[in-house]
Amino acid sequence: MTNILVAGGAGYVGSHTCLDLFNKGFIPVTYDNLSNGHADFVKWGPLETGDIRDLPKLDDVIRKYRPAAIIHFAAAIEIGESVQDPAGFYDNNVSGTISLLLAAQAAGVDKIVFSSSCATYGIPVSMPMGEGHPQLPINPYGRSKLIVEQILQDLDRYRGVRSVILRYFNAAGADPEGRIGERHLPETHAIPLAIETALGKRSHFQVMGSDYRTRDGSCIRDFVHVLDLADAHTRAVEHLLSGGDSVALNLGTGHGTTVKELLSAIQRVSGRDFRVEYGQRRDGDSPALVADNTLAKHIIDWSPRYDLESIIRTAWNWHARVASE
């Protein structure tokens, strides 16, 4: 079996990708400092605890496992945190990536799958958003992802390091078998926050902005199931291992859901009503983000399998089970 190093493999999308890799015959080797990840999410391969800024540790781990490719999830992800501490954010996301790439280069690993984001696009100028959309991020988080994309493009051009950059939209849902799910501390993502409200763990759900120029005044987002994202990462690895060229791909369903529509769906799936309050817009939020996923279908034969109701149902089952334990 082939080893794949998964930096950040104890996190939300990373752990689901490890599950998918294992199911498809790979051995996922998780490298994570567990600042946002969870050791109990590492179930399908070994765990090596370390920071991606620790170059000697990375060198040791890569020499030990000799991975055929690296999937890079290890990054801070909160937009608010990026605005409050830009220097610290760049240190983790950019400096850490450079350390990881230097260790890969030293070991001759020349195939990288990078977890990027639609945040690199910034405010939409056209919808849905294709890979050729201008990349003008509006916060340090999005800029940190764009910087890494540009580094990878230079490595491809000058060093022959091939990469698949995956710009995904709003990850959501959980493993349908309930083995892993979405767990952030503190929680800031809409679906788990709303589910926690439905479960009585929060007094209300706060909608950030109700005056956007959308069909009901709330933001529009493209929610894609985490296992669909995981499937795309494995397909990206297979693309590189089979000699495929470097490419950047959008991962989304191509369908936008407003926050109000999302809340109605959660109330319907859970069978519970809950209090909703409306606040001011949040700095750095775009009115609408919807993917054009045509290129991903063409290059890696990827299509999302889960609809919005399935996304919410798997998330609800995960959070309801955790709450009952």
Separation CA 182–CA 16 (nearest Å): 10
Every domain of the chain and the residues it spans: 2-169+224-251, 190-221+254-324
Is 158 a catalytic site residue?
Answer: no
pLDDT digits (tens, 9 = 90+) for 103-137: 999 999 999 999 999 999 998 899 899 999 999 99
Torsion sign over Cα 4, 145, 312, 10: positive
With contact defined as beta carbons under 8 Å apart, do 74 and 52 qualify?
yes
Q: Residue 139 pLDDT > 90, yes or no?
A: no
SS3 content of the chain, % helix, strand, coil (to 5): 40, 20, 40
Q: How many CA atoms lie within 13 A of 127 on its CB side?
A: 16
Q: Which one of 31, 65, 121, 141 is the catalytic residue?
A: 141
Q: Could you tell me the two tokens for 150? A: 């540009």
Separation CA 85–CA 141 (nearest Å): 10
User: In terms of Cα–Cα distance, which of 152, 283, 146, 166 is closest to 231?
Assistant: 166
Separation CA 110–CA 163 (nearest Å): 8
CATH number for 2-169+224-251: choose from 3.40.228.10, 3.40.190.10, 3.40.50.720, 3.40.630.30. Answer: 3.40.50.720
pLDDT digits (tens, 9 = 90+) for 212-260: 989 999 999 999 999 999 999 999 999 999 999 999 999 999 999 999 9
Classify strands 220-221 and 257-258 as parallel, antiparallel or unpaired: antiparallel
* Omega before residue 128 within 30° of 0, cis: yes
Helices (H) and strands (E) in the chain, counts: 11, 14
Q: Which amino acid, one-letter code, is at 250?
A: N
Top-level class of domain 190-221+254-324: alpha beta
Which residues, in sequence order, are CB contacts of 127 under 8 Å at separation 6+?
256, 288, 290
pLDDT digits (tens, 9 = 90+) for 16-62: 999 999 999 999 999 999 998 999 999 999 999 999 999 999 999 99
pTM value is 0.95
